[in-house]
Chains A and B, each alone.
Chain A
């Protein structure tokens, strides 16, 4: 459904440097699948999501949504893209026009992109909002009359109104409290049943949330995917040293402190000066000199179908 091949998104800076936000990323999401995209701040997650919807231009590579070539789309194809793929952002407050009722907010996209008018339009809008747990008494309210969770549900209703095939959610619950986050997660999970054909790319730095919602997960580090596969496999038996460290650092809601923490030294390098070889070698606890800092690791497929970018993904770890 969504296919990205060797995507690069580079941003030139006034200083002459280049931010290599996405630097050779390949991923594929099957129709109806929900994939989590995780990684630390600045690893390029949002940029991938925006590139998939052509909200930023890619430097090179191919992005396909179904049969639509996103990077080359023009005119009519662009309009097709706008209805096929939708995005929901982190802050529901700034995504909604404060002077528009939520009925209006959902109707707008339908008016622009479909021929629905009059009662048919009103019914469709009401149906979308009700499916998100917002009954009729809410429909004429303005955003400031709603809670954060309710606003985010309006944003999701608006995105789904055009029957997209792809929904990109960029940290949709990060600005919300735990109990409100739970509401939204339940809404999103119910979509798996209500719209089994909808493909979702769920961007988040919260691994617990990804575990709850996604079937597969891709772990990003400095503009690339270092590990990708079924969520259970990646979480229960991570293969890449970065995935291992990331998972071991997750604070778990349990009374006992985690004894197994892998302590990563140092900070994430700047995307304007990516390390040579494996971009993780400056922090990797098992990096091997003269290999990892020189050669780019290949993409290795494990038996369970997982893809891992590490020289030692198949064992034979450095002595």
Chain B
């Protein structure tokens, strides 16, 4: 099947006062129709910049895309005019973010905002009444209790979980092919997060939606996605079915992340902490960006290392091959250098 989204060799830098910041480096990522992919990694690794840059949402300057291509359904997006990109974002791609309040206007009723957004998605080609029908239908789809009443409320009268449902409804009203969800549940409580994650899994199935879900929490991603891409310092270091990520992670960073994660139902004697710090992306190392913290580092790690397919559906950017990296226990646990 042809990919719905196909990012190839994308690199992006920020021109800053201190120099050129290499935020995204030679990233390739593709998504099949109907697929739900989790994009995980720690703060600042580039998850948001990557997904926003693909759809023209990172302002230039300071950002500059230095190479690569982004195709949606075969159409190249890099180089499109702002106007064309806005159309792509309105109709084919929808986005939701961590803090729904930032995307709702506090002085207008929720219903009004939904109707306006839906009319805009249709380029004004439908009237308010038709837009209202679509909106109510979507609110039902996201299981918002009492949609007619919520239509008349202001954003601040709703809880965080309800606001996030409204934004999901707004995003999906245009029947996009692709949903980018950037930490959609990070600000929510556990029981409310579970409701929203269930909803997202349901919508992906029902609406035949493709999704990239960004999170720093592997557990959250596991509730919804079938595949995971792990990012580290502006690069994707591993891309695999979710089962492989948990059962046979290949990249030492992925292994470190898993070793650092406490489990609520399997008490651990100890956790791992990954020693060392992130590399300076104003002057990144030429080879593997994890080399400064990796216990398996070898001389060949200093040349550029690209993501390679090592097993069906499983790619890794590391010189080690399956079986070569020992299990997670042997990584260092040295606090002083952490």
Contacts and interface: CB of A to CB of B under 8 A. Distances in A.
Contacts, number: 131
A251 B145 CA distance: 24
A254 B217 CA distance: 11
B194 interface: yes
Nearest to B43: A177
A178 B273 CA distance: 9
Contact of B335 (A183, A235, A247, A267): A183
A264 interface: yes
Contacts of B283: none
A253 B246 contact: yes
Interface in B246-304: 246-247, 256-265, 267-268, 270-274, 277
Contact of A186 (B43, B246, B270): B270
Contacts of A247: 264
Contacts of A255: 222, 242-243, 245-247
Given A133-B335, A253-B218, A264 B195 contact: yes
B197 A251 contact: yes
A248 B242 CA distance: 20
A272 interface: no
Interface stretch (A81-89, A162-170, A206-214): A206-214
A247 B265 CA distance: 9
B217 A251 contact: yes
Determine the main DSSP class of B at the interface with A. helix
Interface residues of A, number: 46
Contact of A133 (B198, B243, B338): B338
Contacts of B233: none
Contact of B272 (A135, A182, A248): A182
B18 to A, nearest CB: 15
B264 to A, nearest CB: 4
B61 interface: no
A108 to B, nearest CB: 25
B336 A135 contact: yes
Nearest to B226: A255
A251 B335 contact: no
A68 interface: no
A258 B198 CA distance: 11
B43 A254 contact: no
A178 B247 contact: no
A236 interface: yes
Given A253-B246, A257-B223, A182 B194 contact: no
A149 B261 CA distance: 16
B159 A252 contact: no
A187 interface: yes
A261 B262 contact: no
Given A179-B257, A187-B335, A211 B272 contact: no
Interface in B319-338: 333, 335-336, 338
Contacts of B243: 255
Given A186-B270, A264-B191, A149 B338 contact: yes
A181 B222 CA distance: 20
A79 interface: no
A211 B264 contact: yes
Nearest to B274: A179
B161 interface: yes
Given A179-B273, A187-B335, A251-B219, A205 B261 contact: no
A212 B247 CA distance: 21
A268 B189 contact: yes
B162 interface: yes
B273 A41 contact: no
A179 B40 CA distance: 13
B193 interface: yes
Q: Which of A40, A179, A205 gathers most chain B CB within 10 Å?
A: A179
A183 B262 CA distance: 12
Nearest to B253: A179
Contacts of B201: 257
A115 B181 CA distance: 56
A3 B190 CA distance: 28
Contacts of B245: 255
B41 to A, nearest CB: 9
A249 B194 contact: yes
**Residue from B189, B261, B264 whose CB has the most chain A CB atoms within 10 Å:** B264
Contacts of B274: 179, 182
Contacts of A41: 189
B272 A266 contact: no
B338 A212 contact: no
Given A181-B260, A182-B272, A211 B267 contact: yes
B264 A235 contact: yes
A265 B194 CA distance: 11
A208 B271 contact: no
A133 B271 contact: no
A252 B264 contact: yes
Contact of B265 (A133, A236, A245, A256): A236
A41 B207 CA distance: 32
Contact of A253 (B43, B222, B270): B222
Contact of A183 (B193, B259, B261, B273): B273
Counting from the closest, the 3 A-B pairs by CB-CB distance are A251-B219, A249-B194, A182-B260
5 contacts: A178-B42, A182-B261, A187-B335, A205-B190, A249-B194
Interface of A: 40-41, 133, 135, 147, 149, 177-183, 185-187, 205, 207-209, 211-212, 232, 235-236, 245-258, 261, 263-268
Given A186-B270, A264-B195, 20 more contacts: A133-B335, A179-B256, A182-B262, A183-B273, A183-B338, A185-B271, A186-B271, A186-B273, A187-B335, A208-B263, A211-B262, A212-B262, A245-B191, A249-B191, A249-B194, A250-B264, A254-B222, A255-B242, A255-B247, A263-B195
